[in-house]
Structure 1
Amino acid sequence: MRRILIAVLIFGLMAMVAPALAHTADDPYRTDLIAGQHTDAGDVLVWNDDEYLYVKFLTADRWCLAETHLAVADALAGIPQTGNGKLQANNGKSKAGNGKQQTGNGNPIPGQFAYGECYDPCVGSDTFMIPLDEVGRGTLYVAAHAVVKKPGGLDGLEGVLPDEVTMRVTFQYLGGPTYLPEVTVTGGTTLDGIYPGWCVNTGTNIERDRDYRAAVYSSYGAIPTGTIDHPENLDLVNWIINQGFVGQTGGNGIYTFGDVQRAIWRLVDDDPEHETYTGYDEGRVQEILAAAYAYGEGFVPGPGDLVAIVLVPEGGQVIIIVVPVPCGEGEETAWGFGTRFVEKGNWGTYFTYTVG
C-alpha cells in the first residue's frame, strides 16, 4: 500500500512540473468577442510558438473591425488602467477626504494599449505577433478590445469577405438536378453558413459532399482572368437571382430551378450547352434572358437584396452562392470575453493565457 501511495505521489509531482501543451494556429485558445455586453461578434484566438505570441481578432455574422486595441502583460497591473491599482493622493488628502489614500478604480484604457490598428473600411480579422521576450513566458493577462460595426450595402459585405473558405456542395433532392441548391461554407470565416448556389462553368465537374478549398470573390470585384468566361454579364446574373423566378408563372408555364440555371449558363459560359441536363423549358429560359437584358444592365444590389459571391474551388467547378447584402448597424464596443476589471461601471474584460 505504501508503494502505491509513493507511486501516486511521484506521478502527481511529475504532472505538476510537466510543461503545458502549447496552443497552435490549428488549435488556438478561443474566447468570444462580445459586442455591447451581450452580442457575440466573433472570437479572439490566442496561440504561441517558441518565439512569439499570436492574438487574432476574428469577426462573425458580418461584423467587422474598425479598431483593435490589445494589451498583454505578465501581471494584471501591467495592463493600462486608471490607477492601475496604485494608491492615489489628492493634494495630500484622500479623494474621500478621510485622510486615507484610495486605490484607483482599475478601468482599462484601450487608447494606451501597446498594440492596435484602425481600419477604414473595416476588416474581418486582425492578427498581432508579439515576441514572448517582451511579455513573458508564463501565465499572461490579455485585454482584447475592439470597435466593431456592421456596415451596410455591397461595400460593407465586400470589406469582410475572406480570401478563402472551405466549401461543400450538397444536392437537396434525391437524384440531384444539375444545379446546386445548397452550399455549405466553413473554415472559421465571416462567410460561414449555408447558401443557395448555382453552377458557373459546365465543362468542369464538382463532387457532392466533398470539402474543397476555395478562393472567394465578389461578383462586383476583380475576378482572375479565365475564371468565368463572361464576367461582364454578372450584373445580369445578379438581377436574375433577385427576381425570385422559381415558382412564378410566365408565358410558358411555371419557372423552375432548371430554367434559371440554364439562363445563368447562357450568360456566363462559352459552352452553355455542354451540360446535358434537360430539366428546363427553352421558352421560359428565353423569357428570363429577355427580362435580364431589358432590366438588368448595370444592376447593383442594395441593402436587403441578394448578391452572387464567386467561389473558385481547387479542382472543382466554379460556382456562385447567393448572399444577402447587409443593411448595416452602428458601432459597438467589444471585448474578448473574460473577467471584468471592475465590478461596476466600465464592463471591459481580460482573460489569461498560459504559454506552453
Structure 2
Amino acid sequence: MKIMKKWFSTFLIALLFTVAFIPLIPTISAVEVGEPGTKTVDLIAGQHMDVGNIIVWIDGGILHVKYETIEGWYLIETHLAVATNLNGIPQTKTKNPIPGKFPYGRYYSPPVTADEYEIEGTFSGTLYIAAHAKVCKGEVVTEVYESGEGSAQVYGPISSYLPLNDAGWGTSKPAVETWKHPYWPLIPDSSAVWISSSYFIEDAQPDSWRKFTLTFDVLGVPLAGSIVTANSDNAEEVWLNGELIGSDGTVNVSFDASGGDPHEWNTLKDYPFTPVQGTNTLEFIVHNYAYPTHDPTVNPTGLIYKVTVSYLKSMGCETAWGEGDRFLGANWAMYFTYTV
C-alpha cells in the first residue's frame, strides 16, 4: 500500500485544513455505525449499489474518515478531500471533482475491506467531504500446492552453493518422493510428502545442494495471507519470483555437522508472501550438511512444503462515492457534509 500526496495552489491550500498523513500501515478504529458524534453515509458504487459505509467522527482533535465495504467487495484505491466549503474540493472548470488531485489517496495491493484516514486540525462548523473509491466485487479463491503432487522440478545435486539462475545447476527433472527419516515432521492437515532428487540420497557424506522449483498462476488480484509452510534437511532458502522471502539454517556455505546436528530439519517454518497476478515461480535451495557416513538413512536429505495462495477473482469494478449531494458537474460524483 502506498500513500500519495498532491500539492495544490496557494488558494486551495488556504481553503483546506492543516493536515497530517496517517502512518503507512493505518490502524483501523473499532468505531461502530451510529455511535454518538459519528456520521455514517452509504458508499455507493455505479450510482445505485450500496457497497459499504463511510464513517466520520472527531476524537482528540483528529478527524477520522473510515471506509468499509460489505462482504464480497474490496477497496482497490481511495481518494479523500475535506474542506470548509465546496470550492475547496479540487474540481474541473465544469464543476466535476478530480479525485486524482485530492490531497489524500491510497492504492491497495493487496485489496482491503476497510481503511481509515486520520487528519489533524482545528475543526468547527460544517465540513465538506468527498470520499471516492474504486471498488471491485469478487470471489475469494484459495489454492493449495503441496510437495509430492508431481508439479515440482528439481536441479542437482551439486557440490557448492550457486545463485538461482546460475547455469551450473544444469537441467531439471521431476522431484520424487524420498525416503523419510522417522524424525522428520509432516505438515498438519496436509497431504504433502518429503521429496528430493532420488528416493535415497545419491551420496550421504559431502555437502550437497538441490534447487526445487514450482510455478503457479494467480488468476485474479492477489490478497494478503498467502503463505509457504516448509521444512528441509538440513537448511533452505525460499525465493518467490527471484526475491528471497526467507531462510532457515546455513544454506550458502559449507557446514560440517560432525560436531553436532543443529536439527533445523525438525522445524516447520512459515514464509508469508504476496504473489503477483499471473505466473509466479517459487524456488527452494536446499543444503544437506556434510556428515562422515555413506549410509543414506543416517544423513538423508529432503524438502516438504505446503503453499497456500489467496486471490480475488474479480467479477467487475466500479467507481464509488460517499453518498450525499451531487457536485454541480455532469457526472454523478457526490459529497456530503459533517457538522462539528
More helix by share: 1
Same fold (TM over 0.5): no
More strand by share: 2
